[in-house]
Structure 1
Amino acid sequence: MAEVDSDLWSVPLIALNMTVRKKLGLHLNPVHTVAADWMSVADSMGFTFLEIKNYEGLRDPTRTLLEDWQARTKEATVGRLLSILSELERKDIVEDLRPLIDEDVRRYRELLKRSAEAPLQVPEVDSCLPRTSEKSGLTTKDDPEGAPETFDAFICYCQSDFGFVHEMIRELEQTDHSLKLCVFDRDVLPGSCVWTITSELIEKRCKRMVVVISDEYLESDECDFQTKFALSLSPGAQSKRLIPVIYKPMTKPFPSILRFLTVCDYTRPCTQAWFWTRLAKALSLP
């Protein structure tokens, strides 16, 4: 088994860009009777039999597998992925992709270095929300030499509601709806100011914002900022920019600043069958 450089064990999987992920899919998506495929990799990553069976109907199970893995554990690193491929005797994949992986890791570290070297204070301070001048390098699929990555919707949620966000990803991205969601924990590269990145994404990269409302949401400073910022971009909800979603019963009052918006309610059994279709249609509007 080939050794994996020790420094790669600390590099999160989000460092790998789309080119590497697509090539991994070309190697692993075809089901083999001899060589290890994506199902063997999923098993080594700790996914259950039922989870793996649910991936079988996808056109690119490897891509979804990598995205879900990096969202569920801190152990999803470049070093761990290379170790799994080596343990499964897929040295051919490691040798084929290693130059591309090394380049992605180099770019990722360069982004972290630039963020660390950025000044903590600036000479001029005003009351405006911060804006980033960077056009790329914010999200996992940004191409530094191309246009910035854009999304159909930014998902505003608190950590305790992440299970429902996973369901949202399955229903809106991995079905015929084929929408593209911006999920902060999955899509945003670490190392930059949270507020700066968030405002850039909501205002310039995402057409709309879905707000997952819950009791825990009401206690979240980040969710409060994101909601108020999105509302400031569309006074009176004239552009249908913000869509509130309730997915479980609440014990606290619904947020007053959203009371004038039409809610997509998942808790009502009589309308639950139409929930995802209505939400997908709203996010698909120009």
Structure 2
Amino acid sequence: MDAATAPAGSGSPAAPELEAVPLVALNFAVRRRLGLYLNPRAPVAADWTALAEELGYEYLEIKHLEAQPDPTARLLEDWQGRCPGGASVGRLLALLRAVGRQDILADLGGRIEEDCKKYLQRKEQPLQVPAVDSSVPKTLEMSGITTRDDPYGNTPELFDAFICYCQKDIHFVQEMIRELEQTEFKLKLCVFDRDVLPGSCVWSITSELIERRCRKMVVVISDDYLDSNECDFQTKFALSLSPGARHKRLIPVKCKSMKNEFPSILRFITVCDYTNPCTKKWFWIRLAKSLLLP
């Protein structure tokens, strides 16, 4: 049995299915932790450059990555783009074993496996149970998911923006509601805890709202956001609908000072910074006008 099949947290083979799980399954918190281990250059332990060499990166490519603020995160992103079919969690774990970083596997193995399980659960389709005894027309699966939806699906509720946030930032979201909905801007925001009815699959509802019901998405960024699997999924899904932010669909909003680095996958998008006292006067106007764009 080779290293590529070993279980994630032990140092022996990882579950074989991890070879089929793409690297995108790993959330921000795990990627940040990997950077804390691999970014420091130390003679006694293999760092990110060892991974780059194992992946076949040339000297000049490694020197370019070295100039990045988080070279480990940038390497993983570049690997995903360069080799989407081969950039898997199983391959990453095998590389960490190959360079002797058993300490990383021991610390992060369980969290990596949990991320993979959640990713696979989201990919699974629910079983369809055939109707047996009713002649009443059935409600469409994605009808009646918000508080103002027509339950028969004739006029689905539409929004100006979906708000991606973690529970600890709900007070900022409530202020956003006051400033954008209850003022002259009259925007209509989709706030999951307020607008979505219970009883349906969270992932299916979220995908439907982001893709079909909301023109844009506001991502409320904080340290707590980085640890939220729901926010991680929503952000990546929205980015997949508009690669490279070509349609200005996603708007990052930094709501509080952060100890950790800003999410690497959002670095290339202009941020609306609530924490900057010099520009706070214009914050809500800028955000509102961005959401009002077609």
TM-score range, shorter chain: 0.5 to 0.7
**Is 2:242 aligned against 1:225?**
no
Q: What is the rounded CA distance, in whole Å, between the counterparts of 2:251 and 2:126 in structure 1? A: 34
| CA shift in 2, pair 1:272/1:219, >3 Å | same
Aligned length: 160
Aligned match of 1:196 in 165, 186, 204?
204
Q: Confirm whether residue 142 of structure 1 aligns to residue 184 of structure 2.
A: no
- CA distance in 2 between counterparts of 1:254 and 1:135 reads 34
Partner of 2:278: 270
Q: Superposed, which structure 2 residues align to 1:114-129 within 5 Å? A: 120-122=126-128
1:177 equivalenced with 2:185 (yes/no): yes
Out of 254, 259, 263, the residue aligned to residue 267 of structure 2 is: 259
Q: CA RMSD in A?
A: 1.7
Instruction: Give the whole-Å Cα distance in 1 for the aligned partners of 2:231 and 2:219.
Output: 8
Whole-angstrom CA distance in 1 between matches of 2:232 and 2:245: 17
Which string of whole-angstrom CA distances, capped at 9 and with x for unpartnered residues, describes residues 88-123 of structure 1? xxxxxxxxxxxxxxxxxxxxxxxxxxxxxxx94259
Percent identity of the aligned residues?
Answer: 74
Normalised to the residue count of structure 1, the TM-score between the two structures is 0.54
Unmatched 5+ residue regions in structure 1? Answer: 1-118, 124-131
1:156 corresponding residue in structure 2 = 164
Give the AA of the match of 1:170.
Answer: R
Partner amino acid, structure 1, of 2:285: T
TM-score (structure 2 length as normaliser) = 0.53
Contiguous gaps of at least 5 residues in structure 2: 1-124, 130-138
User: Displacement of 1:247 after TM fit?
Assistant: 1.4
1:175 Cα offset (Å): 0.3
Aligned to 2:46: none
User: Within 1, Cα distance between the matches of 2:272 and 2:187?
Assistant: 17
Is contact 2:142–2:208 with CA below 8 Å preserved after alignment? no
Partner of 2:136: none
Alignment partners' CA distance in 2, 1:148 and 1:122: 23
